[in-house]
Structure 1
Amino acid sequence: MTEILQTHIPYDAFAEVALPGISPMKMTDWLIIDEAYAGQMALREELLARRCGDVLALDEHACAAAAELLDVILELLEEKEGFLVSGTVVTCPDGRKVTLDGQDPLGSVARLVQEDICILQRQGDQHVLTGAVLCFPASWSLSEKFGKPLTGIHVPVDSYDDNIARRVQRLFDGVRVERPMWRKNLLWYNNPDLFQPRSENERRTPVDKSSAPYLRSERQSILRLPRSEAVVFSIHTFVVARENVATE
């Protein structure tokens, strides 16, 4: 598969913070359009065409939230350089013209932005994954996590103990409209592929951090939709060659 790389990460991926490592951000800073946009979007188009069932899922009870999410994103893209929103057609920075599909709002979202998107809605005492477009999974599988609550989604993450689970649930309960938050992670990889699904029963092969050629970091954002009150968890994936990490 062709390498799709960024040349840098716009934050300190190595800064140590206590879990869950959340910081506030401006709503206008939520969506990132970077130098890998064209490559990442080409791959997203390919995955949506060939493996849609593996990368997109939407519960019927989340349809209104997905439509609302598309409206929010379109409003933000109208202010982003390189985008032209004209009725039901959006011209993107890579020259593609995306025709919006009101019957498939998550599919439209997936073709506009680099971020993977998860929609979570409160059911009982936890938030449940009711919609997602996940083109760039890092060692997890949408089919295994769809319809599960936060505790089920994080199986088998060793650090996700009861204390962290309670703190994350409070975070999802407390996130306010127009007050998004973000965190980051990082992992070293031998393979730069963006699409790396893996079953929760299949552990990732250990990687030598001192020699692995690629650093993969996710900027994960959390925000609340105003009408549906659903929580959106988005993931912007950066993959940078080691030589560029060393330069920074």
Structure 2
Amino acid sequence: MTAREPGGPRYAPYANGRFALAMGLVALDPKDWIDADDRRAAELQEKERLLAANRKAVFDDLPGSEAAQREVLVILLENLERHHPGLVGVEDGTVTVRETGKSYGLADFSDHALDLAGRLVQEDFCLMRPGEEGYVLHAASLCFPARWKLAEKLGQPMMRIHERVSGYAERLGRPVDRFFEHLRADKPVQRLNWSLVDDPALFQTGGKFRTAEDAGITPENAGDRLWLRVERQTLRRLPESGDILFTIRTFVDPLSCLEARPDLAAALRASLDQMPEGMQLYKSLPPFRDALDRYLERVSSRAA
């Protein structure tokens, strides 16, 4: 995994200059499972706002997921106590978030513990359970979706969840299903996923497959009008229920952050050049693709 260097983005999964539709899994050290940074207070407050406005849009679950949800919360609280002491406090059945001062009664979330888990950290949580057609999304605290709707994916197997992802069925569907079957509780993994968007909002439920040109985005202002959106995703099997917990930690940085790293601008441009047309369409790059390329060409030329 490529982490932040001075002046650059936190993660740069395109740094090798190649595009590949692949799982890209690497081992995860449990101490690095939860990623907390200086955006924590603002992002937790945004989660609270979204949950208050329309809870079902960002949290939902299916009957039978209650025990696995409670298992996730126990694992999370143990991890925070061990590796991030001070982020939350637990006393007399109440959990308090340090940065926001918000407190939650554990008993109030006994049947929807994943909801509480999502309120304590910047990560989103998705619970996957074995089904007849593969692993099914059984419960989720998903406040920061990348252009998809929880209501459309809950109860669906992996293949159907990703049916609109260009190349997924042909290249990744079966390998992902096999990996899920063999994932061990003591071998958690992580991967990175990236995209370019024209909206910095963390909560996005639509916007894929756009083609209409956005004349407002130019090579001169692309650095301020476009954002790099990177998801740090982790996968781990829950030892008691056997379900798989999928977490998503989202980072959004203005494209202009690459002006301090012309090498990464060159790598991103090369990756985009190799990205299949179907994937570019899926990611809605056509509206600003030309302006983006010319911007990256200018920035990357500084590396020479």
* Partner secondary structure for residue 51 of structure 1: helix
% identity of equivalent residues: 34
Determine the structure 1 residue equivalent to 2:257: 244
Q: Which has the higher contact order (CA 8 A, sep 6+)?
A: 1
- Pick from 168, 171, 177 the counterpart of residue 179 of structure 2: 171
Offset from partner CA, 1:44-66 (integer Å, 9 cap, x none): 00111111011111111111111
Of 221, 226, 232 in structure 2, the residue corresponding to residue 213 of structure 1 is 226
Whether the aligned pair in 1 keeps the contact of 2:197 and 2:229 (CA below 8 Å) is yes
Cα distance in 2 for residues equivalent to 1:205 and 1:82: 47
Aligned mates of 2:146, 2:134 — CA distance in 1: 24
- Where structure 2 has 5 or more consecutive residues not aligned to the other structure, the ranges are 1-6, 262-304
Q: Map 1:1-248 onto structure 2 (within 5 A).
A: 9-15=9-15, 16=18, 18=20, 19-79=22-82, 80-83=84-87, 84-99=89-104, 100=106, 101-198=109-206, 203-204=209-210, 211=222, 212-248=225-261
Cα distance, 1:180 vs structure 2: 0.9
How far residue 92 of structure 1 moved from its aligned partner, in angstroms, is 2.1
Count of aligned pairs: 240
TM-aligned CA deviation for residue 190 of structure 1:
1.4
Judging by fraction of residues, say which structure has more helix: 2
**SS of match in other structure, 1:222:** strand
- C-alpha separation in 1, matches of 2:115 and 2:179: 27
> Post-superposition shift, 1:90?
2.3
2: CA distance, partners of 1:61 / 1:205: 41
CA offset at residue 88 of structure 1? 2.2
For the Cα contact (< 8 Å) 1:98–1:111, is it kept in 2? no
In structure 2, do the counterparts of structure 1 residues 106 and 204 end up closer, same or farther at CA, with 3 Å as the change threshold? Answer: farther
Where 1:114 maps in the other structure, the secondary structure is coil
Deviates more, 1:56-65 or 1:75-84: 75-84
The TM-score with structure 1 as length reference comes to 0.89
Alignment-mate amino acid for residue 141 of structure 1: K
Q: Give the letter for the 1:56 counterpart.
A: F
1:215/1:245 contact within 8 Å kept: no
Unaligned runs of 5+ in 1: 1-6
Aligned-CA RMSD value: 2.2
Q: Please report how far the alpha carbon of residue 198 of structure 1 lies from its aligned counterpart in structure 2 after TM superposition.
A: 2.0
Give the CA deviation at 1:205.
Answer: 5.1
SS of 1:244's equivalent?
helix
Residue 17 of structure 1: CA displacement?
Answer: 6.8
Offset of residue 86 of structure 1 = 2.3
Displacement of 1:26: 0.8
Report the Cα distance in structure 2 between the residues aligned to 1:38 and 1:209, rounded to whole angstroms: 33
Tell me the alpha carbon deviations over residues 95-125 of structure 1, each in whole angstroms, 9 at most, x when there is no partner.
3233132232022112101111110000125
| Residues 170, 209 of structure 1: alpha-carbon distance in 2 compared, 3 angstrom cutoff | farther
Counterparts in 2 of 1:121 and 1:190: CA distance versus 1, 3 Å: same
Q: Is the 8 A contact 1:98 1:112 kept in 2?
A: no
TM-score, L = length of structure 2: 0.73
Return 235-244 or 17-26, whichever deviates more. Answer: 17-26
Instruction: Please tell me whether the aligned partners of residues 9 and 257 of structure 2 are also in contact (alpha carbons under 8 angstroms).
Output: no
- Distance across 1 between alignment mates of 2:96 and 2:196: 35
Q: Greater CA radius of gyration, 1 or 2?
A: 2
SS of equivalent residue, structure 2 residue 64: helix
Q: Which digits, 9 at most, give the CA deviation of each residue in 1:108-143, with x for residues without a partner?
A: 112101111110000125000110111111111101
Deviations 1:20-46 (A, max 9, x none): 111111122111111111111111001
